[in-house]
Structure 1
Amino acid sequence: MFALRQVFLYLQHSLKSTRLHGIHSPFVFSLHNQVIRHKGNFYSFSEIEDLRKQLKVCRDIIQVQDFGAGSRVTNKLTKTIRHIVLNAATPPDLAQLLFRLVNFQNAAVILELGTSLGLTTAYLASANTKATVYSLEGCPTTAQQASENLKNLKINNVNVITGNFEDTLPALLPNLPCVDFVLFDGNHRLAPTLRYFDWCRAKATEASVFVFDDINWSPEMQQAWRQICAHPAVTISVDLFHLGLVFFRKNQPKQHFNIRF
């Protein structure tokens, strides 16, 4: 039933999608060409994807702890590394889009809610090696595995912070000068998503971008996405079906775009 619903929603999204010639915003036109439709292969992609291949066949079992909405596949307390990669990791095309988006925004302070095994974290961190990435993960064993993966990739600009987001996020944000890039990928429920958005928004600047994963994952996430797009501080919102992007560019009329990715 979930798969059928996703197909139906994607067909709806495709019918509403804006074509290139229909994008009249110069900023979104550049975003479309340089991030969404760009197909370039960057230096770090092959190393991260080689690690993904190794993890896909790893049958090591770890204890997992989930503070969010859980999984559509299984909510067992133990999972293999292979299972997590196949069912929970951001796929390469979306992770590489996030890499390009970090480059496009020249993000220096990056916040990720939901480290998982660190594959997406690696993309964010390698997009700008001078940036500092703060990656929050609720599950201690998953966070440990992610730290090992990042170490194996020789990525050293990531701080993995373990604990419930309700505790770790409000403790971290006061210590940050701003947040240039935030990826919300750790709790697919309405109230927490809106709460974390509000907390992070206090540290956003005109150049910030917030990315919401799985905006069509459930009716709750769809509602959260609609409320975020309607927020007065959000001037540009982009629906890519799996991901939602919001920008806070002042002196710009409020616009929403559905773009096929």
Structure 2
Amino acid sequence: MNKLNAWAGLLARYLRYYFRAGTKYGVHSPFVADWVANVLEDTRDYYAFFSIEGLRQTLSRSGRRLAGNPGGAGYFSAPAGGPSLSYLANRVAVPPYVGQWLFKTALWAKPKSMLELGSSLGISTLYLGAAAPRAQFLSVEGWREAAELAAAHCHEAGLANIRIVHGNFGEALPQLLPHLAPLDLIYIDGDHNGFRTLEYVEQCLPHLAPDGVIVLGDIYWSADMAEAWKTLRQHPAFRVSIDVFHLGLLFPRAEQKEKEHFTLIRARRKFWRVGIWG
């Protein structure tokens, strides 16, 4: 029953998002329109997509189960006996289109320094790292077994700029952040707990570059994650926020006087909304 209630709640949150979402035709901010054109509406494929999805397919065929405690709040439907690599690749790792949004956001932002909270098996890590192979990139994973696999996958992909660290986010961040360059892109997707997500953002905020972006995964995973997202988009440190349901993006944009929030969906999913009705 709890699992059914969780999925029913997620569906209700998606429907609310869908009915209020606008399309590219209603975006009048040049900054946001540029992101929409280069990320949300961009349909180009890159070689990295095929290699990363090839890894996912390999993992999807594996029945190997990982020991240890995954932690976080994102494994509520994991099978008994510990999640298999197949389960993690198909149900926990970012789906292909979200991975592509991450890749294209990093390609668009051109980060020199990135931080990820939640490596899992390294699928999202590879999407981000492939888009910015020269960036200093630190990824933190709370599950030791997953961290070891993610590190191996990054090594096999030849992305030497990625460093995977095992540790509890709340404990690791105070030790790691002072040694990092100002962060141009921060991706948080390893602990679907609203209260802790707020804490992670506050910890990272002093280390975010003025032109940086914080990307949050699964902002509607649960009611408390949705509430955390609402709180963050109202945060005075962020002048621009973008909601695409699976991801939430927060930009400081200190030079911008007015706060702006955009709830967006791909135009093809609301094909009847064009021009001033977008």
CA distance in 1, matches of 2:8, 2:252: 34
Conservation of the 8 A alpha-carbon contact between 2:6 and 2:222:
no
The residue aligned with 2:176 is 172
The residue aligned with 1:99 is 103
Deviation at 1:160, TM superposition (A): 0.3
Q: Does 1:134 align with 2:138?
A: yes
Q: Which structure exhibits the higher relative contact order, with contacts defined as CA atoms closer than 8 Å and separated by 6 or more residues?
A: 2
Deviation at 1:67, TM superposition (A): 3.0
Conservation of the 8 A alpha-carbon contact between 2:194 and 2:227:
yes
The residue aligned with 1:209 is 213
CA distance in 2, matches of 1:190, 1:108: 28
Conservation of the 8 A alpha-carbon contact between 2:74 and 2:92:
no
Q: Does 1:224 align with 2:214?
A: no
Q: Does 1:48 align with 2:52?
A: yes
Q: Deviations over 1:71-123 (max 9, x none)?
A: 13127462211111111010010001100000111111110000000011011
Q: Deviations over 1:115-157 (max 9, x none)?
A: 0000110111110111121000011111111111112222211
Backbone CA RMSD of aligned residues: 1.3
Q: Percent identity?
A: 33
Conservation of the 8 A alpha-carbon contact between 1:73 and 1:87:
no
Match of residue 263, structure 2, among 249, 258, 261: 258
| 1:30 counterpart letter in structure 2 | D
Deviation at 1:41, TM superposition (A): 0.7
Q: Residues 205 and 157 (structure 1 numbering): CA distance in 2 closer, same or farther, change over 3 Å? A: same
CA distance in 2, matches of 1:58, 1:179: 35
CA distance in 2, matches of 1:177, 1:157: 14
Match of residue 14, structure 1, among 14, 18, 33: 18
1:108-123 alignment, distance < 5 Å: 108-123=112-127
The residue aligned with 1:37 is 41
Deviation at 1:5, TM superposition (A): 2.5
Match of residue 87, structure 1, among 85, 91, 107: 91
Conservation of the 8 A alpha-carbon contact between 1:206 and 1:250:
yes
CA distance in 2, matches of 1:192, 1:49: 30
1:178-189 alignment, distance < 5 Å: 178-189=182-193
CA distance in 1, matches of 2:11, 2:73: 21
Deviation at 1:7, TM superposition (A): 2.4
Per the alignment, in what secondary structure is the counterpart of residue 69 of structure 1?
A: coil
Match of residue 160, structure 1, among 156, 159, 164: 164
CA distance in 2, matches of 1:97, 1:45: 11
Deviation at 1:220, TM superposition (A): 0.8
Q: Deviations over 1:185-210 (max 9, x none)?
A: 11111221111101111011221110
Conservation of the 8 A alpha-carbon contact between 2:9 and 2:222:
no
Conservation of the 8 A alpha-carbon contact between 1:212 and 1:243:
yes
Q: What is the TM-score with the length of structure 2 in the denominator?
A: 0.90
Count residues with an aligned counterpart: 261
Q: Which moved more, 1:197-206 or 1:113-122?
A: 197-206
Conservation of the 8 A alpha-carbon contact between 1:64 and 1:77:
no
Q: Does 1:61 align with 2:65?
A: yes
Per the alignment, in what secondary structure is the counterpart of residue 88 of structure 2?
A: helix
Gaps of 5+ in 1: none
CA distance in 1, matches of 2:162, 2:221: 28
CA distance in 2, matches of 1:237, 1:7: 22
CA distance in 2, matches of 1:44, 1:151: 15
